């Protein structure tokens, strides 16, 4: 199926933040673009704002002046919906209210030709529901752009229950022709990104609420060990706590209050007290003038142990063994089958976070998962109060000898990066099993839509198919709320059932 020809008109209805961005994308791709907004004068203002953005592209040398002038001439504000009659595609970006969108599309259907594609940019409404009032809902599709649309490459192409395959493939091809990276997904709450990203925030907030660990330390661990560009606390301060919480609540409510998506009480308090983040001057952190940003908790220097005994190959943290040797610490390798732990000279053990608590065992310190132990700047350790001081000091000294900063946490099952990556994988595989999207599209969406260093499926593949399964089984036992109950998708994947692609 080919993309809509650039000679054909694209109409954008609702010319706020998203409408302007989408119009700019279609315009730069070469289409004539018509703008319409319910508020008189706003479409004209939007055309001026888009024109000003094109001017800046010319100033930066990213667009020729002739190209800008031609694009500007193709951009036409409309005063009446009837002026959209010759559109080959209408993208709607109006208020996020079902009745408003339904009414608009019912009107549009009377105006445009039968082969005109109708698309909604909704983030949280059901595409099937928005199409509910249409006579011919087969030509209706979700085209979910991300803000700012001209810059972010991801577009989720959402098929509602009535969307024709031809409509979805044409919309996909058109987004691709516009230079975007479209992914296909089914019409389930949160589509791909807004659904699968929930644990990134929720696990960090839960560790903060349940274990009293400060936001700066959790952010630093997810950044410096997990490889995420920003931690969840600083990121939600940037997004706005109200905006982030609204997405969480919408997904949670749409899934009939599933414990998997349960919102955070601590975040609720922020929203209620209007501590919305950067925009209000205070969120998890203060942005008041002169306010010092708290730093993460760093353990003081400790001596490295002279030797460690490795039981097993330490997979999926196997690279640590070579790194320890390179640091001049003797590694005595014991029977490969015996387990996956390091025994320290104190007799205590150092074990990769597996969802259990240190207090259940004698003298065990857990260390957190890292995206890449070589490049990680920080490693978190977690220990029960009963752990010997020597064991904790030797564990700290060991990672410091590898050049890492160390954050010592209380006894947190699944720690921080490990539980986050396991939960992201669980939700991603659940979405694959439910035919929301293919594993490949989910990985692409999470890398492009929220900038994850690896897609959740490929990340879990790298860790081994039973890794998340075992970690979540232990977490579920430690915290039996249902939040960590493993999904059918994870089950099928862990046991090697072939997963069919949704695409």
Q: Which residues are catalytic?
A: 123, 144, 156, 194
Of 7-15, 225-233, 432-440, 495-503, the segment contacting ligand NAD by CB under 6 A is 7-15
Contact 501, 440 (CB under 8 A): yes
CB 13 to ligand NAD: min, Å: 5
Strands 33-36 and 9-13: parallel
Tell whether residue 42 is a contact of ligand NAD (CB under 6 A).
yes
Exactly one of 3, 11, 27, 37 binds ligand NAD (CB under 6 A); that residue is: 37
Q: How many Å apart are CA 202 and CA 198, to the nearest integer?
A: 6
Tell whether residue 240 is a contact of ligand NAD (CB under 6 A).
no
**Toward ligand NAD, which CB reaches closer, 79 or 229?**
79
Q: How many Å apart are CA 188 and CA 185, to the nearest integer?
A: 8
Exactly one of 10, 11, 12, 19 binds ligand NAD (CB under 6 A); that residue is: 19
Contact 91, 119 (CB under 8 A): yes
Of 116-124, 197-205, 299-307, 310-318, the segment contacting ligand NAD by CB under 6 A is 116-124
Q: How many Å apart are CA 200 and CA 500, to the nearest integer?
A: 26
Exactly one of 32, 75, 77, 122 binds ligand NAD (CB under 6 A); that residue is: 122
Exactly one of 45, 96, 319, 334 binds ligand NAD (CB under 6 A); that residue is: 96
Tell whether residue 477 is a contact of ligand NAD (CB under 6 A).
no
Burial readout 41-71 (b: 16 or more C-beta within 10 A, e: otherwise): ebbbebbeebbebbeebeeeeebeeeebeeb
- Opening angle at CA 245, ends 241 and 453, nearest 5: 80
Of 31-39, 328-336, 398-406, 448-456, the segment contacting ligand NAD by CB under 6 A is 31-39
Q: How far is CA 369 from the centre of its chain?
A: 18
Tell whether residue 68 is a contact of ligand NAD (CB under 6 A).
no
Neighbours of 154 (CB within 10 A): 22
Neighbours of 106 (CB within 10 A): 13
Tell whether residue 79 is a contact of ligand NAD (CB under 6 A).
no
Of 10-18, 82-90, 430-438, 488-496, the segment contacting ligand NAD by CB under 6 A is 10-18
CB 427 to ligand NAD: min, Å: 20
CB 192 to ligand NAD: min, Å: 13
The residue with its CB nearest to ligand NAD is 16
Tell whether residue 11 is a contact of ligand NAD (CB under 6 A).
no
Q: How many Å apart are CA 368 and CA 320, to the nearest integer?
A: 12
CB 37 to ligand NAD: min, Å: 5
92, two tokens: 């709607």
Q: Is 349 helix (H, G, I), strand (E, B) or coil?
A: strand
Exactly one of 4, 10, 15, 171 binds ligand NAD (CB under 6 A); that residue is: 15
Q: How many Å apart are CA 376 and CA 373, to the nearest integer?
A: 5
Site for ligand NAD in 125-164 (CB under 6 A): 145, 147
**Toward ligand NAD, which CB reaches closer, 105 or 366?**
105
CB 239 to ligand NAD: min, Å: 9
Burial readout 166-176 (b: 16 or more C-beta within 10 A, e: otherwise): ebbbbbbbbbe
Tell me how many residues contact ligand NAD (CB under 6 A).
22
**Toward ligand NAD, which CB reaches closer, 23 or 409?**
23
Tell whether residue 106 is a contact of ligand NAD (CB under 6 A).
no
Contact 71, 95 (CB under 8 A): no
CB 177 to ligand NAD: min, Å: 20
Residue with tokens 């597996």: 354
Tell whether residue 320 is a contact of ligand NAD (CB under 6 A).
no
Tell whether residue 121 is a contact of ligand NAD (CB under 6 A).
yes
221, two tokens: 């661990």
Site for ligand NAD in 412-471 (CB under 6 A): none
Neighbours of 434 (CB within 10 A): 14
Contact 118, 90 (CB under 8 A): yes
Please count the residues of the chain.
503
**Toward ligand NAD, which CB reaches closer, 88 or 93?**
93
**Toward ligand NAD, which CB reaches closer, 125 or 317?**
125
Could you tell me which of 340, 490, 364, 451 has the C-alpha nearest to residue 415? 364
Q: What is the DSSP string of 146-213?
A: -SSTTT--EEEEEE-TT--HHHHHHHHHHHHHTT-EEEEEES-TTTTHHHHTHHHHHHHHHHHHHH--
Of 35-43, 155-163, 386-394, 451-459, the segment contacting ligand NAD by CB under 6 A is 35-43
Of 32-40, 257-265, 407-415, 438-446, the segment contacting ligand NAD by CB under 6 A is 32-40
Tell whether residue 50 is a contact of ligand NAD (CB under 6 A).
no
Tell whether residue 13 is a contact of ligand NAD (CB under 6 A).
yes
**Toward ligand NAD, which CB reaches closer, 78 or 442?**
78
CB 156 to ligand NAD: min, Å: 9
Q: How many Å apart are CA 76 and CA 23, to the nearest integer?
A: 11
**Toward ligand NAD, which CB reaches closer, 16 or 138?**
16
CB 135 to ligand NAD: min, Å: 19
Chain residues binding ligand NAD by CB under 6 A are 13-19, 37-39, 42, 93-96, 100, 104, 121-123, 145, 147
């Amino acid at each position: 199926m080919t993309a809509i020809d650039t000679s054909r008109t694209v109409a954008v209805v609702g010319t706020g933040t998203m409408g302007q961005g989408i119009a700019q994308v279609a315009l730069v791709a070469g289409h004539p673009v018509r703008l319409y907004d319910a508020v008189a004068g706003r479409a004209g203002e939007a055309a001026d704002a888009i024109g000003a953005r094109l001017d800046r592209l010319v100033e930066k040398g990213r667009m020729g002046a002739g190209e800008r002038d031609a694009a500007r001439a193709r951009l036409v504000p409309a005063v009446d919906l009837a002026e959209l009659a010759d559109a080959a595609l209408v993208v709607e970006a109006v208020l996020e209210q079902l009745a408003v969108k339904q009414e608009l599309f019912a009107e549009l259907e009377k105006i445009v030709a039968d082969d005109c594609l109708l698309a909604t940019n909704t983030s949280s409404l059901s595409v099937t529901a928005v199409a509910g009032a249409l006579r011919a809902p087969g030509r209706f599709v979700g085209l979910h752009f991300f803000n700012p649309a001209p810059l972010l490459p991801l577009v989720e192409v959402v098929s509602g229950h009535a969307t024709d395959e031809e409509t979805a493939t044409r919309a996909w091809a058109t987004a691709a022709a516009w230079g975007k990276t479209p992914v296909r997904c089914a019409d389930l709450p949160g589509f791909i990104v807004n659904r699968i990203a929930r644990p990134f925030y929720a696990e960090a907030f839960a560790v903060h609420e349940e274990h009293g660990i400060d936001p700066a330390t959790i952010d630093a661990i997810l950044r410096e060990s997990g490889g995420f560009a920003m931690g969840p606390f600083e990121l939600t301060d940037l997004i706005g706590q109200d905006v982030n919480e609204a997405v969480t609540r919408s997904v949670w409510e749409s899934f009939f209050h599933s414990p998997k998506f349960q919102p955070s009480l601590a975040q609720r308090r922020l929203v209620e007290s209007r501590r919305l983040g950067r925009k209000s001057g205070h969120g998890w952190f203060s942005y008041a003038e002169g306010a010092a940003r708290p730093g993460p908790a760093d353990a003081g220097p400790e001596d490295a142990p002279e030797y460690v005994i490795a039981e097993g190959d330490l997979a999926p943290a196997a690279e640590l063994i070579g790194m320890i040797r390179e640091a001049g610490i003797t590694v005595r390798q014991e029977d490969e089958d015996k387990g996956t732990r390091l025994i320290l000279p104190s007799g205590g053990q150092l074990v990769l976070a597996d969802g259990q608590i240190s207090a259940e065992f004698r003298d065990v310190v857990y260390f957190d998962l890292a995206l890449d132990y070589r490049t990680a700047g920080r490693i978190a350790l977690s220990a029960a109060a009963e752990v010997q001081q020597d064991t904790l000091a030797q564990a700290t000294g060991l990672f410091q000898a590898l050049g890492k900063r160390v954050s010592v946490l209380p006894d947190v099952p699944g720690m921080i990066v490990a539980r986050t990556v396991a939960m992201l994988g669980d939700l991603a595989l659940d979405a694959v099993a439910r035919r929301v999207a293919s594993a490949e599209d989910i990985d692409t969406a999470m890398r492009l839509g929220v900038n994850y260093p690896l897609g959740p499926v490929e990340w879990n593949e790298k860790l081994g198919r039973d890794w998340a399964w075992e970690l979540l089984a232990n977490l579920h036992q430690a915290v039996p709320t249902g939040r960590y109950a493993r999904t059918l998708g994870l089950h099928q994947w862990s046991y090697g059932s072939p997963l069919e692609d949704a695409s």
